[in-house]
Amino acid sequence: MTRAFITGIGGQDGSYLAEQLVAEGVEVHALAHAIEPLPDAPGVELHSGDLTDVDDVRSLLIDLAPDEVYNLAAMSSVARSWEKPDLTAQVNGMAAAALLESALLVQEKLDRPVRFVQASSAEIFGQPDRSPQDESTPVRPLNPYGAAKAYAHLMVEVYRRRGLHAVSAILYNHESPRRPEQFVTRKITSTVASIARGRADVLTLGNLDARRDWGWAPDYVDAMVRAARADQATDYVVATGVAHSVRDFVAAAFAQAGITDWEDLVVVDQEFVRPADPTELVGNATRARRLLGWSPTVGFDEVVQHMVEADLAAG
Ligand code: NAP
């Protein structure tokens, strides 16, 4: 039986990944962040801990000896990374490097392959001069989150050269009803649902013209599993290839809630415009399509629909 180890189980992707692996019959172990309440993860053996406690996590990994390691734990908000650049570097960068080393130690000790997937990010490209981006786009991050992810991304290549089946999944934005409300998409859908229920008056946002390549979180988790199991380890852009503006997202969310005249319900506040905001990140996932047989199964309108429906249903 395949045994997997997941970090970041309490997050959006960790929960979907655990569900996918458990459904496949994989024995799933996960690091549950010590400061959060234990996540509800049926079928998963949870181990409390902090990824930055490198020695503890290394002992755990050596004890568990997993076949697959998925490193999803991160300080995942770009905005918060400006407030906590040092913590961001520790969690998203240094702890990822330590986990790669731990995986290699397990591989060498047991003399069998360990497959490692790092949840990287399109933010490693910063404000790229070409669009769409692919795996050969220069890494030139513009914020602390992207810089820490870039370090981990480069370390994946370093460990791949040392013989680890290490993969960096360069993830573009992906959403779901499980996205926390500090992220713009969920802020939009939860506020639109509140407005529709008469519990909020306005939706306050930053730059409505910012454009993003938004996909469906379970699709992106599936790409990571496929990448772990591919014969060859390489990096993959995971993206839909289609960008939409925040304004498009807002319009689709209001439409889903049955509100057509929404312009007066949206207030633009400069406070929410984040520094060095890349204007357009769009990914070219040709390699993932070709080598992993992966493609997105849920389009933009459906993503918005699922999120608004869930927020309306939550009351
Ligand atoms: P998420 O919902 O923010 O989940 C991240 C998880 O990591 C949280 O459960 C968090 O726990 C945990 N964590 C943070 N610091 C930790 C630490 N020191 N030790 C152990 N666990 C820690 O993120 P996500 O949306 O699922 O994303 C998964 C991964 O993909 C992340 O690495 C993210 O950076 C990357 N990614 C996501 C997107 C996206 O659009 N979702 C795009 C590109 C890349 P606490 O809440 O307790 O801190």
Q: Could you tell me the two tokens for 7?
A: 């970090």
Tens-binned pLDDT, residue by residue, of the chain (315 aa): 999 999 999 999 999 999 999 999 999 999 999 766 777 889 999 999 999 999 999 999 999 999 999 999 999 999 899 999 999 999 999 999 999 999 999 999 999 999 999 999 999 999 998 999 999 999 999 999 999 999 999 999 999 999 999 999 999 999 999 999 999 999 999 999 999 999 999 999 998 998 999 999 999 999 999 999 999 999 999 999 999 999 999 999 999 999 999 999 999 988 777 654 555 789 999 999 999 999 999 999 999 999 999 999 997
Give strand pairing partners of 69.
5, 116
Half-sphere exposure of 122 (CA within 13 A, CB side): 30
Atom of ligand 1 nearest to the CA of 14: 26
Q: How many angstroms separate the Cα of 46 from the Cα of each of 30, 43, 64, 105, 113?
A: 5, 9, 12, 22, 23
Ligand 1 binding pocket, CB closer than 6 Å: 7-8, 10-14, 31, 33, 35-36, 50-52, 72-76, 91, 119, 121, 171, 173-174, 180
Query: Which pLDDT value is given to residue 97?
Result: 98
CA pair distance 150, 144, nearest whole angstrom:
10
Q: How many angstroms separate the Cα of 312 from the Cα of each of 171, 209, 263?
A: 28, 26, 20
Domain boundaries, the chain: 3-174+217-238, 176-212+242-281+298-313
CA pair distance 171, 203, nearest whole angstrom:
27
CA pair distance 34, 18, nearest whole angstrom:
18
| C-beta of residue 259 within 8 angstroms of C-beta of residue 265 | yes
Q: What CATH code would you report for 3-174+217-238?
A: 3.40.50.720
Half-sphere exposure of 147 (CA within 13 A, CB side): 13
Query: Which pLDDT value is given to residue 178?
Result: 97
* DSSP reduced 3-state for 138: coil
Give pTM, 2 decimals.
0.96
Residue type at 245 in one-letter notation: S
Query: Which pLDDT value is given to residue 315?
Result: 75
Query: Which pLDDT value is given to residue 39?
Result: 77
Query: Which pLDDT value is given to residue 35?
Result: 65
Query: Which pLDDT value is given to residue 40?
Result: 85
CA pair distance 94, 35, nearest whole angstrom:
19
Query: Which pLDDT value is given to residue 222?
Result: 98
Architecture of domain 176-212+242-281+298-313: Alpha-Beta Complex (3.90)
CA 69 to ligand 1 centroid distance, Å? 15
Closest CA to 67 of 116, 34, 135, 126: 116
Query: Which pLDDT value is given to residue 271?
Result: 77
